[in-house]
Amino acid sequence: MAKRISVGKRVADDMTPKRGLDALFEDAPVHRSTSTPAKTKKFEKGTFYFDPDDLAQLERVWLQLMGQGIKCNKSEIVSILLSAGLEEHEQNPANSLLTQRLTGKRRRS
């Protein structure tokens, strides 16, 4: 087992002039991010069919967001919009946009 260094010795070592990389980085400020890093959401793969016009609109929205400097991908956009639509449907199923759009469609018997 290595012998422990006394406090006096550690203080003396801290007082000695630094050389090399220690001298360069001794007083360098430590960069700490002030913002909370965004949690990357884990996606599962699924296959769905979309109207070509909806895909074109998704592309336009994605390009607009990227133009504003918002780093995102189309999966994130679809996930956010899907979550918002499903939440709205859960809160008010009778009057949700989903119910309004699908009214008149019935399952095949």
* Confidence (pLDDT) at 30: 56
Q: What is the domain partition of the chain in residue ranges?
A: 72-102
* Residue 13 phi, psi dihedral angles, 5° rounding: -65, -35
Buried b (16+ CB within 10 A) or exposed e, 87-106: eeeeeeeeebeeeeeeeeee
Spatial separation of the C-alpha atoms in residues 80 and 61, rounded to whole Å: 13
Global pTM? 0.57
Digit-coded pLDDT (tens) for 56-101: 999 999 999 999 999 999 999 999 999 999 999 999 999 999 999 9
The two structure tokens encoding residue 67 = 């133009």
